Amino acid sequence: MTPSPSTMTPPVAAPEPVDVSGLVVGILGGTGPQGRGLGVRLAAAGQRVLLGSRDAERSYATAEDVAARASTVAAGGVEVSVRGGSNSDVAESADLVIVAVPFGGHAATLAGLAAPLTGKIVVDCVVPMAFDKQGAYALPVPEGSVALQAAALLPGSSVVGAFHHLSAVLLEDLAHDLEGDVLVVGDDRQATDAVQALAARLPGMRGIYAGRLRSAGQVEALTVNLVSINRRYKVHAGVRITDV
Amino acid sequence: MTPSPSTMTPPVAAPEPVDVSGLVVGILGGTGPQGRGLGVRLAAAGQRVLLGSRDAERSYATAEDVAARASTVAAGGVEVSVRGGSNSDVAESADLVIVAVPFGGHAATLAGLAAPLTGKIVVDCVVPMAFDKQGAYALPVPEGSVALQAAALLPGSSVVGAFHHLSAVLLEDLAHDLEGDVLVVGDDRQATDAVQALAARLPGMRGIYAGRLRSAGQVEALTVNLVSINRRYKVHAGVRITDV
């Protein structure tokens, strides 16, 4: 029997496309390698980008450089827009904010920004990682994960974990196409849909919903394994999900 | 300047191939879905397999069934060999042992097998996972991970974590080709090399070294995210590492 339309399962594998092209994307820690890398790729795709830094002066020079590099690869007709500012200015002005600060400054940075980030999607890509003689290892986070720490500090924001596995080296190497999936974790469906759509704006990448925020810790820490893979195989490893 | 041979870096991305085809592979918990699935695929590839169970009687019937199914897909000339036994018999007789028991029985099973497993490679694929109304979630393990728990209980064995991300459904569906990578973590290079080679015996799969045993926890827990992906996209997700 053919099911009637009203009893059919909605096509979950192909959700309504979300248009995020008009969002201004702020990046806290936008002058670090991950922040610059995400910034240049998103700007080249036509996203308006604000690069935040503790030191606003430093951000202006980085923004100029990132804009210039994005312009070299942006498709014809794409308007490249990258501006700098303090982390706090960026949190205030952006529609959606990516957190790309070093783990050591994560809690302190977000603790001061709860008010400007209220009502916004906050995408945390910070990895709790350190190195010793044996290589990289995952640091414990009291809240269970960096993303859960962000959620605890930003009760008015929709916190999503994503963009952990993109090599900063490859992001900044504009001669190199990207390849792989962005695992997106979060509890707010509208927010995870938007972040999946944002990930898909990077050519070669997909945004894949990968569970609730309580499952962010292993996604963050998997970056440690990718670093070990990089060292062993002399590559810049990423992740692709099969069968999706 | 062309480096002289003595100063050249060894080709780490293409290690000496290890021949594991002669090893008898034991599977503790070999009558469960993951154990049966690994057993049938390894047997079809020509590996001699011992399926262990708490209930030896039950293992005999499973071994017969697994052997029959493996024979239907084994290439011409491949001798399919699958036998059953108690977990303790299997630990005693196998050259390399895969642990595929439920997490709830993990510590108790291994605690009784330290003697027969001494000197052997023990490959742990157990995932510390539970379910509630919101879906799958990772259970904390006092030792930090299931693999570290195994290492603590088996001081005389070389413990390796691997085979966490292979869908039991796809393993048992012999009409379906496998696709993806097996992430292999461990501290003993000979052991991880052997397990990578074992993974590569599964057509369509590669074994990728993915770090030390202290980085096993996130590999285990990532299975929770794959379960969430399966639910959202109606798939049987696995992992592929890009750029390797």
pLDDT digits (tens, 9 = 90+) for A140-181: 999 999 999 999 999 999 999 999 999 999 999 999 999 999
Q: Are the Cβ atoms of B211 and A233 closer than 8 angstroms?
A: no
The pLDDT of residue B11:
45
Q: Are the Cβ atoms of A222 and B218 closer than 8 angstroms?
A: yes
Provide φ and ψ at B144, rounded to 5°: 105, -30
Is residue B34 pLDDT above 70, yes or no?
Answer: yes
Is residue A187 pLDDT above 80, yes or no?
Answer: yes
Q: Are the Cβ atoms of A225 and B13 closer than 8 angstroms?
A: no
Is residue B207 within 8 Å of residue B182, measured between CB atoms? yes
The pLDDT of residue A15:
56
For A96-100, B6-10, B186-190, which range has the lowest pLDDT when averaged over its residues? Answer: B6-10
Q: Are the Cβ atoms of B222 and A217 closer than 8 angstroms?
A: no
How far apart CA A91 and CA A101 sit, in angstroms, is 13
> Measured in Å, how far apart are chain A's first and last C-alpha atoms?
28
Q: What's A188's DSSP letter?
A: -
Is residue A194 pLDDT above 60, yes or no?
Answer: yes
Is residue B132 pLDDT above 50, yes or no?
Answer: yes
Read out DSSP for B96-128? EEEE-S-GGGHHHHHHTTHHHHTTSEEEE----
pLDDT-based confidence at A11, cuts 50/70/90?
Answer: very low
For A17-21, A80-84, A127-131, B80-84, which range has the lowest pLDDT when averaged over its residues? Answer: A17-21
Residue pLDDT, tens place only, A67-114: 999 999 999 999 999 999 999 999 999 999 999 999 999 999 999 999
Q: Are the Cβ atoms of B221 and A243 closer than 8 angstroms?
A: no
The pLDDT of residue A17:
78
How far apart CA B236 and CA B244 sit, in angstroms, is 22
How far apart CA B166 and CA B34 sit, in angstroms, is 8
pLDDT-based confidence at B17, cuts 50/70/90?
Answer: confident
Is residue B60 pLDDT above 90, yes or no?
Answer: yes
The pLDDT of residue B1:
39
Q: What is the mean pLDDT of chain A?
A: 94
What's the whole-number mean pLDDT along residues A130-134? Answer: 97
Nearest to A183, CA basis, from A240, A232, A118: A240
Across the A/B interface, how many CB contacts are shorter than 8 Å? Answer: 150
Q: What's A74's DSSP letter?
A: S
Is residue A1 pLDDT above 80, yes or no?
Answer: no
Name the residue among A12, A222, A238 with its Cβ closest to that of B222.
A222
Is residue A227 within 8 Å of residue A135, measured between CB atoms? yes
Q: Which chain A positions have a beta carbon within 8 Å of B215's beta carbon?
A: 136-138, 221, 224-225, 228
How far apart CA B69 and CA B114 sit, in angstroms, is 32
The pLDDT of residue A6:
43
Q: Which chain A positions have a beta carbon within 8 Å of B183's beta carbon?
A: 225
Nearest to A232, CA basis, from B14, B214, B13, B184: B13
Q: Are the Cβ atoms of A228 and B209 closer than 8 angstroms?
A: yes
Is residue A217 within 8 Å of residue A144, measured between CB atoms? yes
Does this model's pTM top 0.90?
A: yes
Q: Which chain B positions have a beta carbon within 8 Å of A241's beta carbon?
A: 226, 229, 237-240
How far apart CA A114 and CA B180 sit, in angstroms, is 41
Is residue B122 within 8 Å of residue B94, measured between CB atoms? no
Distances (CA, A) of B4 to A122, A199, B158, B180: 52, 45, 36, 37
